Amino acid sequence: MEQNAASEGEARPVFPFTAIVGQEEMKMCLILNVIDPKIGGVMIMGDRGTGKSTTVRALVDLLPEIEVVAGDPFNSSPQDPELMSEEVRKRVQANEELPVATSRINMVDLPLGATEDRVCGTIDIEKALTEGVKAFEPGLLARANRGILYVDEVNLLDDHLVDVLLDSAASGWNTVEREGISISHPARFILIGSGNPEEGELRPQLLDRFGMHAQVGTVKDPELRVKIVEERGMFDANPKSFRVNYDTTQKELRDRIDNARAILSSVKVPHDLRVKISQVCSELDVDGLRGDIVSNRASKAFAAFQGRTEVTAEDIRAVMPNCLRHRLRKDPLESIDSGTLVVDKFNEVFGYST
C-alpha cells in the first residue's frame, strides 16, 4: 500500500491505463504478460509519439501484489526456493523465521546509457578480500526480479547488454563474476521493449526471445486524435482529479486481471487445438518450438482474461499473430510482417473462411 500512496503523492502521477485511447493490440499483449509472466515479455514497435512509453508505464497501477521477504534487495519469495536469493535460502535452511511484506510488482526502467555494472550489479573486491565477505551491490536486474524490466528504444541498446538481458530473462538468473569471485541471484522478470522501426530493427535471434510482438501506428481518425489531445491536456492540467475519474474502470480491470491470474492454472487447451497451433507454426517454417509454447500460453491467458477455463479457436486467433509474426524473419534486412501471413495460415489450418 505504501507504493500506492507514493504514486498518488510524491511520485510522478501515472496516466491511467484505461484512459488510453486505441492501441488495443499493445494493451492486450501487456495485460496477457501480467496474467502469465512466462509468456516471455513484449516487443512494441511503432511510430514516434504513439503512446508506447505512456502505456507501458501506465501498467504500474494494474500490477498485482506479491509477498516478499522484508528488506531483501532481490524481492525474494518467502515460499518458493526458485525465487529466493542465496542468503534467504540459507536463512530458510537454518529454520529462521522470515519477515514477510506485501508489495506491488516492481517496474524498473532501464536507461539507454546504463553500463553493464549498473544493470548486473558490482562486487566490492576490496571488501571481499579484506573482510572475507561477498560484498555485492545489486543492479537493475536485482530490482526487477519478480517484476517488469522496461527498455525504451531497445533497438538502440548495445547488443551486448541486450544479450545480457535476454539471457537473464530466459534463465531466470544473473551471475556476476570478478577476480575469481562469483555471485548469482534470481532475475525473473517480464522484459518489455519498445522502439521505432525507423531507427533500426533488432536481430531476428533477439526478436525471437520476446514472447509477443505488438505493432502500434499513429491514429488516423480525426475525432479520436482530438479526444487523445483533450485527455492529455486534462491530465497535464490536473493529474490527480483526472485519475479519480478513472478509479472505477481501473479497479474493474485490476480485479479482472487478478481473477485471470487466479484461474490460469485451471485453463486447458484441447488436444486438437494444440495440434493445430503446432501445424500453423510448422507450415510457417517457424524455427524452434518457442512459437508453439508462447501461442499456447498466450491463448490460455486470453481465455482466463475472459473468465473461461477452456481455450477456443477464437482465443488462439486473437493472440497468434502477436506470438508468431516476429519469428518469420530469416533475413535481418526483412521487415516484420503485419500478421497477415499468420492469419491466412490460421484460417487455412483451423478451417476459417476469409
pLDDT in tens, 339-349: 688 888 999 98
Let me know if 325 is a catalytic residue: no
How large is the average pLDDT for residues 227-252?
90
Catalytic residue among 143, 146, 188, 290: 290
Give the predicted TM-score (pTM) of the model: 0.85
Which of the residue ranges 2-6, 27-31, 259-263 would you say has the lowest mean pLDDT? 2-6
Is residue 301 pLDDT above 70, yes or no? Answer: yes
State the average pLDDT over residues 320-343: 74
Question: Strand 212-216 to strand 42-46: parallel, antiparallel, or no bridges (unpaired)?
Answer: parallel
CATH of 265-350, one of 2.60.40.10, 1.10.8.80, 3.40.190.10, 2.60.120.370: 1.10.8.80
Cα–Cα nearest to 242, from 250, 234, 254, 253:
234
SS3 of 94, please? coil
Q: What residue spans in the chain does CATH classification 1.10.8.80 cover?
A: 265-350
Give 299's contacts (C-beta < 8 A, 6+ positions apart). 269, 277, 311, 315, 316, 318, 319, 320
The pLDDT of residue 171 is above 90: no
Can you tell me the mean pLDDT for 31-55?
87
Residue 162 has pLDDT above 60, yes or no: yes
What is the pLDDT at residue 129? 60
Per-residue pLDDT at 263: 95
Closest CA to 312 of 259, 258, 276: 276
Look at residue 210 in the predicted model and tell me its pLDDT: 86
Closest CA to 319 of 305, 308, 331, 333: 305
Least confident range from 2-11, 53-62, 307-316, 333-342: namely 2-11
Contact yes or no for 42/192 (Cβ under 8 A): yes
Domain at 23-63+105-216, CATH homologous superfamily: P-loop containing nucleotide triphosphate hydrolases (3.40.50.300)
Q: What span, in angstroms and rounded, lies between the C-alpha atoms of 323 and 343? A: 11
- CATH 3.40.50.300 residue ranges of the chain are 23-63+105-216
SS3 246: coil
- Predicted pLDDT of residue 306: 95
Out of 9-18, 81-90, 127-136, 178-187, give the one with best mean pLDDT: 81-90
